[in-house]
């Protein structure tokens, strides 16, 4: 009868309480180790960037003079995606402040918001704000000449303003945000549904998610109704019917849309959106994911779900970094719905094999992570690339604490083995995780402040460990068999100084493509092993 989304979409708030929630970023701090080093490298790069250069195109579009040095790459003043990095930058500044108390990044974010508010006021176009003119949207709706993704770029701005308000306490960001969303409402209201669906053929990022987040933040359903206009039914209908028809589509165009579906379900309870997100995640994770956790080639799904080796062989541009960033973001939603260890196993594989390996000590990062033997790692430049993946990376490495621990309001889940410290003020628990994982196959949790009542700590027992895994409480082996691929629950009245040690034997094993068992990867625990060729022994990329 036309699919699940042939029925009318009516936005009505009915929040679905998640089973588990992440902690506020400020509740967790990273300890020393490679993740802390990645965070520091990223924060240092953000502080080296010139705010005036990032604002140049916004000011020029608003008629405000600027003598700043123009940026290059995707942020060049003539580029059609100009301005996208500013949105990422706002998010990165807010995340850096929330996760590490970085005052300089907050000050930079606040200064950027004030400058953008000035541009918005000077433009005086009903709340419009951008580094490019509204003529881009005229071209978008006419469809007679291609325009490079103006709503994609706008989404970055919306998300950045939301983060600056919610994570950095900037009230001005909310005023700028609602003004810009008012312009979006009026612009999209001009078109009937058929015309709007044609407009959605051009990448529009996570416009739904941002508008749904604004609806939840303000309690105003207006923004949810605007978000619903960005429901791309040609993609959502088969997903809601549990059909993988993704071959030929651009991967990172569509993951943000599915994240929007997940958020729509959480604030309305409409199960069609739940089914979109749930099936999408499982078909990607089970049938379209390489051993390292990433997916796609040349940014696209090039094969049917059971023919992944064909996609691998088609080119060398595997695993766009934005795709892993967004799949990990989607994973956190689904883990909140159902505390299944498979979600965190998937998250961990991406985190250690993909994300941690794509940033350099100077803060530069990659676009793709190729799986082709002998492939070069190609990093962005300081001011001359500004790829989409440079933008998502600027956020990624400022929020590395966001999935280590989850809670249900009363009890604790330990998901990832990163040296860190959790301060759960509401429950009176302070917990230090001391680990050199994966250099050592163990982690130690120490209670530094104990809650007044009993509390359960659920430890993830990763699927890659063995039956010899064991848990010790205060030096004594727990009389329980940790089952790989599950959580082990330890409930007791904790005291200051109590410790838990989780030992996770790591073994060598291989994984292969289902449709070509001759192509194999070697793993040690969660780590995919690879050899690094010395520089100069392979010809550089052309």
Rg (CA), the chain: 23
Task: Please report where in the chains the tokens 């308000």 appear, as a residue.
Answer: 165
Confidence of residue 163 (pLDDT cuts 50, 70, 90): very high
The whole-angstrom separation of Cα 152 and Cα 205 is 4
The whole-angstrom separation of Cα 115 and Cα 110 is 9
The whole-angstrom separation of Cα 355 and Cα 446 is 28
pLDDT at residue 533 tops 80: no
- Are the C-beta atoms of residues 450 and 496 closer than 8 Å to each other? yes
Confidence of residue 487 (pLDDT cuts 50, 70, 90): very high
Helix (H, G, I), strand (E, B) or coil at 215: helix
Confidence of residue 374 (pLDDT cuts 50, 70, 90): confident
Average pLDDT over residues 159-178: 98
- Are the C-beta atoms of residues 418 and 431 closer than 8 Å to each other? no
C-alpha pair distances (Å), 60 with each of 56, 130, 149, 472: 6, 10, 20, 62
- Are the C-beta atoms of residues 40 and 290 closer than 8 Å to each other? no
Instruction: Report the candidate in 7, 40, 21, 1 with the shortest Cα–Cα distance to residue 398.
Output: 40
The whole-angstrom separation of Cα 357 and Cα 542 is 23
Planar angle of CA 140, 146, 148, nearest 5 degrees: 80
Cα torsion angle, 195, 225, 162, 399, sign: negative
C-alpha pair distances (Å), 224 with each of 78, 79, 218: 33, 31, 11
Phi and psi (nearest 5°) for 55? -90, -5
Instruction: Quickly list H helices, 101-203.
Output: 103-123, 135-142, 150-168, 171-188, 193-199
The whole-angstrom separation of Cα 60 and Cα 87 is 17
Structure tokens at 539: 């010809």
The whole-angstrom separation of Cα 432 and Cα 110 is 32
Confidence of residue 189 (pLDDT cuts 50, 70, 90): very high
Helix (H) or strand (E) holding 511: strand 508-513
Longest dimension (CA), the chain: 72
The chain-wide mean pLDDT, for the chain, equals 97
pLDDT on residue 542: 65
pLDDT on residue 109: 98
pLDDT on residue 69: 98
Helix (H, G, I), strand (E, B) or coil at 519: strand
Average pLDDT over residues 499-518: 97
CB environment 452-475: b (16+ within 10 A), e (fewer)? eeebebbbbbbbbbeeebbbebee
Residues in the chain: 542
Note the pLDDT tens digit of each residue in 267-303. 999 999 999 999 999 999 999 999 999 999 999 999 9
Average pLDDT over residues 181-209: 98
The whole-angstrom separation of Cα 220 and Cα 332 is 25
- Are the C-beta atoms of residues 89 and 46 closer than 8 Å to each other? yes
The whole-angstrom separation of Cα 336 and Cα 17 is 9
Note the pLDDT tens digit of each residue in 100-112. 999 999 999 999 9
The whole-angstrom separation of Cα 293 and Cα 371 is 11
Helix (H, G, I), strand (E, B) or coil at 520: strand
pLDDT at residue 84 tops 80: yes
pLDDT on residue 541: 67
Instruction: Report the candidate in 19, 17, 24, 16 with the shortest Cα–Cα distance to residue 340.
Output: 19
Percent of the chain predicted with pLDDT > 70: 99
Residues contacting 257, CB < 8 A, separation 6+ = 204, 206, 208, 230, 232, 235, 236
Instruction: Report the candidate in 317, 322, 348, 323 with the shortest Cα–Cα distance to residue 335.
Output: 348
Percent of the chain predicted with pLDDT > 90: 96
The whole-angstrom separation of Cα 29 and Cα 32 is 10
Average pLDDT over residues 75-86: 98
- Are the C-beta atoms of residues 226 and 184 closer than 8 Å to each other? yes
Average pLDDT over residues 311-335: 97
Helix (H, G, I), strand (E, B) or coil at 490: strand
pLDDT on residue 7: 87
pLDDT on residue 375: 86
Note the pLDDT tens digit of each residue in 224-276. 999 999 999 999 999 999 999 999 999 999 999 999 999 999 999 999 999 99
Q: Is 490 left (phi over 0), alpha (psi -120 to 50) or beta?
A: beta
Average pLDDT over residues 327-331: 98
C-alpha pair distances (Å), 291 with each of 235, 314, 350, 354: 26, 17, 9, 10
Instruction: Report the candidate in 291, 289, 355, 353 with the shortest Cα–Cα distance to residue 322.
Output: 355
pLDDT on residue 208: 98
Average pLDDT over residues 139-144: 97
pLDDT at residue 1 tops 60: no
Structure tokens at 267: 């604030």
CB environment 41-55: b (16+ within 10 A), e (fewer)? bbbebbeebeeeebb
Confidence of residue 206 (pLDDT cuts 50, 70, 90): very high
The whole-angstrom separation of Cα 39 and Cα 28 is 14
């Amino acid at each position: 009868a036309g699919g699940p989304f042939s029925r009318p979409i009516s936005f009505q708030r009915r929040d679905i309480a998640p089973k588990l929630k992440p902690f506020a970023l400020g509740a967790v701090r990273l300890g020393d180790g490679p993740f802390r080093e990645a965070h520091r490298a990223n924060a240092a790069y953000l502080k080296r960037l010139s705010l005036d250069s990032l604002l140049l195109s916004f000011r020029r579009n608003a008629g405000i003079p600027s003598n700043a040095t123009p940026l290059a790459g995707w942020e060049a003043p003539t580029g059609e995606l100009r301005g996208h990095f500013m949105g990422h930058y706002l998010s990165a500044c807010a995340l850096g402040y929330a996760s590490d108390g970085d005052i300089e990044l907050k000050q930079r974010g606040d200064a950027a918001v004030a400058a953008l508010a000035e541009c918005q006021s000077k433009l005086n176009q009903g709340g419009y704000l951008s580094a490019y003119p509204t003529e881009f949207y005229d071209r978008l709706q006419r469809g007679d000449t291609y325009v490079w993704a103006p709503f994609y770029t706008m989404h970055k701005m919306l998300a950045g303003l939301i983060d600056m308000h919610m994570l950095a306490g900037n009230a001005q960001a909310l005023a700028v945000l609602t003004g810009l969303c008012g312009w979006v409402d009026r612009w999209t209201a001009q078109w009937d549904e058929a015309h709007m669906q044609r407009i959605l053929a051009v990448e529009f990022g996570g416009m739904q998610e941002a508008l749904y987040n604004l609806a939840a933040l303000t309690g105003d359903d207006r923004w949810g109704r605007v978000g619903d206009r960005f429901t791309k039914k040609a993609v959502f209908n088969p997903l809601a019917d549990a059909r993988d028809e993704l071959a030929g589509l651009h991967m990172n165009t569509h993951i943000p849309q599915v994240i929007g579906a997940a958020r729509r379900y959480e604030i309305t309870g409409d199960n069609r959106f739940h089914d979109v997100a749930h099936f999408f995640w499982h078909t990607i994770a089970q049938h379209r994911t390489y051993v390292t956790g990433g997916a796609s080639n040349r940014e696209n799904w090039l094969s049917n779900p059971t023919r992944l080796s064909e996609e691998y062989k088609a080119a060398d541009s595997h695993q766009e970094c934005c795709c892993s960033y967004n799949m990990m973001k989607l994973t956190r939603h689904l883990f909140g719905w159902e505390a299944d260890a498979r979600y965190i196993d998937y998250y961990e594989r991406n985190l250690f094999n993909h994300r941690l390996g794509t940033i350099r000590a100077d803060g530069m990062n990659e676009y793709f992570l190729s799986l082709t033997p002998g492939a070069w790692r190609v990093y962005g430049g300081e001011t001359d690339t500004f790829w989409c993946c440079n933008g998502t990376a600027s956020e990624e490495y400022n929020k590395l604490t966001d999935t280590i621990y989850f809670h249900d309001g009363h009890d604790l889940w330990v998901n990832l083995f990163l040296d860190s410290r959790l301060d759960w003020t509401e429950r009176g628990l302070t917990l230090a995780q001391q680990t050199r994982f994966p250099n050592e196959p163990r982690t130690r949790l120490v209670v530094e402040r104990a809650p007044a009542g009993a509390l359960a700590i659920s430890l993830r027992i990763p699927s890659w460990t063995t039956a010899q895994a064991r848990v010790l409480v205060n030096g004594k082996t727990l009389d329980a068999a940790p089952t790989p691929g599950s959580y082990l629950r330890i409930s007791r009245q904790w005291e200051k100084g109590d410790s838990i040690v989780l030992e996770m034997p790591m073994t060598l094993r291989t994984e292969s493509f289902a449709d070509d068992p001759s192509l194999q990867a070697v793993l040690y625990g969660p780590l995919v092993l690879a050899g690094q060729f010395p520089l100069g022994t392979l010809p550089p990329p052309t």
